[in-house]
C-alpha cells in the first residue's frame, strides 16, 4: 500500500475498456486538496504541459476556478460542463474551420473530465464523450483520421478486436507508417498531437492504445505485444508500405515500442522509446518512490494498477516488475534500430537508458534536461521526427563522433 491507497472491487471488460465494478473509487490517502489541484492545473496550463496542452486558456481558467472538489462526480460535471459549451459552439458554427476548433476544445475538455483514467462510472462516460468529440474533430481535418477496428483472436477473457485510428497523407501511394502510442493516463487519441508533422511529410500515422489502456483488448503483461500483430497485418493489406513501418511510444508507450523493436524486428525499420522504462523503473522500490512523488495530480497507484486489472500497489508491483525486458531476456536479442529519448532529471530513470546501452546492439540516444517526456515535448519531437523520417526514407545517418561522445560522457 502506498499513501494509504485503498481500492476494493473486481475489474470487468466493458465496451469502453476496463472498469472497476464499484460506484466509487478511493484514489488514496494523499489525493490532492482542491487548492492543490487548482494550483497543479494552473501550473500545467501556464507551461502548456499535458493534460492542459492546447486547451482554450480563458475557458480552462474559468473551469479550474469552478472546481469545488476532486471527487469523480464533481470533477467530471465541471469539465464536461465546459465541454458542452464548445459542443454548442460547434453546432452553431457557420464554417468548417470554426466547427473543427470547437470540436477540438470539446474533446480536450472531455479528456480532462476523464483524466487520469476512466476508473469510475462518471469518468467512463467522459471517456465515451472524449472519443466521440475526437472523431468529430478529426473528421473535419484534411486529411481526416479514420477509425479502424480489426479482429483480435486472444484468450477467453480478452477483447475481440483492436481499435485504432489511421491518418493517411494526401496523394502518397503506399506511404511509410509510424505507429504511435502514449502512456497510462491518456489514450490513442492523445497520440494525434504528434501525427501532423509526419503526415505533412508523406508518412501515414496509426494511433494505438497500449495494453490495459483505452480500448485495448488485453491487459498489460509479459506477452501483451501480440495485440500489435493484427495492426501490422492490417497495414500490409490496406495500401500502406509494410516494408517501411516504425513504432514511436512515449512514457509507458515507449516501453512497448522498445519491446516491439526486439519481438517484431522483422516487421519494423525503426523504433523510438521516448521516456519509457526497460527494467530499473519497473522494480518495486522505484515504483514506490515514484508513486510517493508530488508531481502527480492524484496518487498514480490506481491508474498504473488499472493496466494490469488489479487495484492495489501490492498486486500491481510484481506485475510491473514482470515487464522487465532484462528479465525476459530480450535486451541481448537482435532489434531494429532504436532511438532512446529521456530526461536526465526527475522521476524518469536514466538508468534504464544506460542499461539498454550495455546490452544488445548499438543504439542512438538523446538526453534532455528535465524528467518526464512532456517537459521537453517540442524539442524531443523535433529530434524524434528527423530520426524516424531518416529511417523510413533510407536517408538516416549514423551519429557523428561528437554526438557519440556527448551521449556517452
- Specify if 50 maps to a domain: no
Please give the Cα distance from 344 to 354 (Å, whole number). Answer: 11
Q: Is the residue at 45 inside a domain?
A: no
Asked whether residue 398 is domain-assigned, the answer is yes
Does the residue 164 lie in any domain? yes
Of 56-70, 341-355, 394-408, which gets the smallest average pLDDT?
A: 394-408
Total residue count of the chain as it appears in this document: 409
Range of the domain at 191: 143-281+324-409
* Residue 307 included in any domain: no
Q: Is the dihedral of CA 154, 159, 165, 168 positive or negative?
A: positive
Whether 133 is covered by a domain: the verdict is: no
From the number of C-beta atoms within 10 Å of its C-beta (0-12, 13-18, 19+), residue 113 rates as buried
What is the number of structural domains in the chain?
A: 1
Burial 285-318 (b: 16+ CB within 10 A, else e): ebbeebbeeeebbbbbbbbbbbbbbbbbbeebbe
Q: Write out pLDDT tens, residues 281-340.
A: 898 888 877 776 555 677 678 888 899 999 888 999 999 999 999 999 999 999 999 999
Q: What is the pLDDT of residues 8-62, one digit of tens each?
A: 233 344 444 433 332 233 333 334 688 888 998 999 899 888 889 899 999 999 9
Instruction: Supply the angle between the helices 96-114 and 57-66 in degrees, to the nearest 10.
Output: 30
Whole-number Å distance between alpha carbons of 279 and 292: 19
The answer to whether 160 and 218 have CB atoms below 8 angstroms apart is no
The closest of 334, 343, 337 to 390, measured between CA atoms, is: 337
In a domain, 341, yes or no: yes
Measured in degrees and rounded to the nearest 5, phi and psi for residue 208 equal -130, 140
Which phi and psi angles does 125 have, rounded to 5°?
-65, -40
- CATH number of the domain where residue 163 is located: 3.40.50.1820
pTM of the complete model: 0.86
Amino acid at each position: 500500500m502506498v499513501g494509504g491507497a485503498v481500492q476494493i472491487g473486481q475489474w470487468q471488460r466493458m465496451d469502453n475498456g476496463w472498469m472497476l465494478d464499484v460506484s466509487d473509487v478511493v484514489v488514496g490517502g494523499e489525493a490532492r486538496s482542491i487548492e492543490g489541484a487548482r494550483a497543479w492545473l494552473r501550473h500545467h496550463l501556464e507551461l502548456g504541459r499535458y493534460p492542459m496542452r492546447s486547451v482554450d486558456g480563458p475557458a480552462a481558467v474559468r473551469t479550474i476556478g469552478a472546481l469545488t472538489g476532486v471527487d469523480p462526480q464533481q470533477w467530471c460535471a465541471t469539465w464536461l460542463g465546459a465541454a458542452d459549451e464548445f459542443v454548442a459552439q460547434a453546432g452553431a458554427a457557420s464554417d468548417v474551420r470554426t466547427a473543427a476548433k470547437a470540436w477540438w476544445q470539446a474533446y480536450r475538455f472531455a479528456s480532462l473530465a476523464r483524466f487520469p483514467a476512466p476508473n469510475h462510472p462518471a469518468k467512463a462516460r467522459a471517456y465515451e464523450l472524449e472519443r466521440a468529440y475526437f472523431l468529430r474533430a478529426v473528421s473535419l481535418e484534411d486529411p481526416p483520421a479514420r477509425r479502424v477496428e480489426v479482429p483480435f483472436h486472444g484468450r477467453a477473457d480478452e477483447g475481440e478486436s483492436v481499435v485504432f485510428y489511421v491518418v493517411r497523407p494526401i496523394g502518397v501511394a503506399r506511404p511509410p507508417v509510424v505507429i504511435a502510442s502514449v502512456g497510462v493516463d491518456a489514450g490513442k487519441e492523445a497520440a494525434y498531437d504528434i501525427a501532423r508533422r509526419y503526415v505533412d511529410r508523406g508518412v501515414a500515422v496509426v494511433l494505438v492504445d497500449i495494453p490495459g489502456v483505452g480500448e485495448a483488448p488485453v491487459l498489460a503483461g509479459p506477452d501483451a505485444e501480440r495485440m500489435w500483430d493484427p495492426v501490422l497485418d492490417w497495414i500490409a493489406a490496406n495500401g500502406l508500405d509494410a516494408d517501411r513501418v516504425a513504432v514511436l511510444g512515449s512514457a509507458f508507450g515507449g516501453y512497448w515500442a522498445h519491446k516491439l523493436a526486439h519481438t517484431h524486428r522483422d516487421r519494423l525499420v525503426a523504433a523510438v522509446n521516448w521516456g519509457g522504462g526497460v527494467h530499473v523503473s519497473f522494480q518495486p522500490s522505484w515504483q514506490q518512490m515514484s508513486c510517493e512523488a508530488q508531481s502527480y495530480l492524484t496518487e498514480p497507484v490506481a491508474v498504473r494498477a488499472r493496466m494490469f486489472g488489479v487495484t492495489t500497489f501490492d498486486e500491481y508491483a510484481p506485475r510491473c516488475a514482470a515487464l522487465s525486458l532484462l528479465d525476459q531476456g530480450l535486451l541481448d536479442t537482435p532489434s531494429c534500430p532504436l532511438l532512446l529519448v529521456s530526461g536526465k532529471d526527475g522521476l524518469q530513470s536514466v538508468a534504464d537508458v544506460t542499461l539498454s546501452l550495455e546490452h544488445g546492439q548499438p543504439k542512438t540516444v538523446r538526453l534532455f534536461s528535465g524528467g518526464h517526456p512532456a517537459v521537453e515535448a517540442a524539442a524531443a519531437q523535433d529530434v524524434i521526427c528527423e530520426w524516424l523520417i531518416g529511417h523510413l526514407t533510407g536517408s538516416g545517418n549514423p551519429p557523428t563522433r561528437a554526438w557519440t561522445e556527448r551521449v556517452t560522457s
